[in-house]
Amino acid sequence: MAQNFAHGNYSHTQRKVRNGGGGRTPKDRARRTLSQNFLADRHAVDLMVKAAAPEGLVLEPGAGEGVLTLALAEAGARVVGYEIDPLLAGRLAARTRSDPRIDVVRGDFTAARAPHEPFAVVGNIPYSITSKIVDWCLRAPALTSATLLTQREYARKRSGDYGRWSLVTVESWPWFHWRLGDTIGRESFRPVPSVDSAILRLQRRPEPLVSDRGSYQELVELGFGGVGGSVRASLKTRYEGVDAALKAAGVARDTVVAHVHPDQWIILWGRLCG
């Protein structure tokens, strides 16, 4: 069943479109503008479904041609697929009209209201708006998990696979566990992108690891503020007992902020704010 929602100026698009066709067809140029790279590998689809373990309500950003949509429904989920391309949305809606497990929304996922009931997000998402989709997921109170096929570099950065941790991950760590899943090679997509992808999994924790969001995020944001070049120098501008807290967390005095593991931040919060 198709739904047509007005979502203002939000868009699953890359605003900059290179001049010239370069031999591409109008359809190819439209796919590039909308950052469309469709899954064309059944094994990759199976890996996504396995990682997501879908059940109950699942929202899918960028449903596209519906390959993942149908697989999620077949696995037992009730799927709401969001697709901003009206042609693709219409085709998918017509294809699934008689399937009670699937609804198709013609509109932008990032402008949608989050459901009040527990739900998951699963999608092969456009590289150009990955951060917008992740931010949307982190803000949704009823979200249980997000299983996202993203640019591999992004997935590695957010999951600490480079040995460094980002502010987004550390700030949300008491509420969400981030995990890097399988790599999906670029050859699994049509058209073929210039980089590989990977599955990024966000799982909401049963109970938060800290009792006060405000004081934890204030601590982390100060640490990432860059004062003095080390986490110690940054924290000492506001907190007492920093050296003892660092020792308890196993953090060396000269450690730069990106090398502090999220679990160590939990210990620092407990010592300095808890």
Predicted local confidence at residue 182, as pLDDT: 98
Q: Which two tokens stand for residue 45?
A: 């689809």
CA distances from 147 to 97, 158, 170, 224 (A): 25, 13, 18, 27
Start-end ranges of CATH 3.40.50.150 in the chain? 32-204
Q: 217 in helix, strand or coil?
A: helix
The ranges of the chain with pLDDT < 70 are 1-35
Annotation-wise, does 9 bind a ligand? no
Q: Indicate the fold that domain 213-273 takes in CATH.
A: Helicase, Ruva Protein; domain 3 (1.10.8)
Contact predicate 176/147, CB 8 Å: no
Residue length of the chain? 274
Predicted local confidence at residue 226, as pLDDT: 83
Quote the CA–CA distance of 69 and 104 in Å, as a whole number: 10
Start-end ranges of CATH 1.10.8 in the chain? 213-273
Annotation-wise, does 62 bind a ligand? yes
Predicted local confidence at residue 35, as pLDDT: 55
Q: Indicate the fold that domain 32-204 takes in CATH.
A: Rossmann fold (3.40.50)
Work out the burial of residue 113: count CB atoms within 10 Å of its CB; fewer than 13 is exposed, 13-18 middle, 19 or more buried. Answer: exposed
Annotation-wise, does 65 bind a ligand? no
Predicted local confidence at residue 228, as pLDDT: 76
Quote the CA–CA distance of 150 and 210 in Å, as a whole number: 29
Predicted local confidence at residue 156, as pLDDT: 98
Residue ranges in 34-98 assigned as alpha helix (H): 42-52, 67-74, 86-95
CA distances from 179 to 115, 158, 182, 242 (A): 24, 8, 10, 29
Annotation-wise, does 243 bind a ligand? no
Predicted local confidence at residue 125, as pLDDT: 96
